[in-house]
Amino acid sequence: MPFVSQSTLLYLFSVASADADAVVFTAGDKAFPTVGIYRKTALPVIEAQLTKGDFRLMHTLKLLNTQYVPAPHPHEFVNINTPRNYNEALNKGL
């Protein structure tokens, strides 16, 4: 997620609940677990998921006390998997 701004990340920290194990952004009906805050309290669940071979962060979020925060700038959340994806995003002005 190369287009997530510093101000967006700072916003996440400013609204994070102290009792949440994980705090992640959402845009529409989609969650973005790779841009999040994971407290030490999440570690046992994360380790158990890894031991089971379940590497899906969405599964892990369901097991944690997760706070979902609407992204203030959803256009920043563009998933980039290839150089082509990156170039397409740049061409769109992101």
Is the pLDDT assigned to residue 65 strictly greater than 90? yes
The tokens of 49 are what?
Answer: 């998921």
For residues 90 and 25, the answer to whether their CB atoms sit within 8 Å is no
- Give dist(CA 66, CA 68) in Å, integer: 6
Superfamily of domain 6-91: Spore Coat Polysaccharide Biosynthesis Protein SpsA; Chain A (3.90.550.10)
Amino acid 74 reads P
Euclidean distance between CA atoms 23 and 12, whole angstroms: 8
pLDDT band at 94; cut points 50, 70, 90: low
- Report the pLDDT value the prediction gives residue 85, as an integer from 0 to 100: 85
The pTM of this model reads 0.85
- Residue-wise pLDDT tens digits, 69-91: 999 999 888 878 899 988 888 88
Taking alpha carbons only, the member of 74, 59, 73 closest to residue 28 is 74
Domain definitions of the chain by residue range: 6-91
pLDDT of residue 17: 96
Counts for the chain of helices (H) and strands (E), in that order:
4, 3
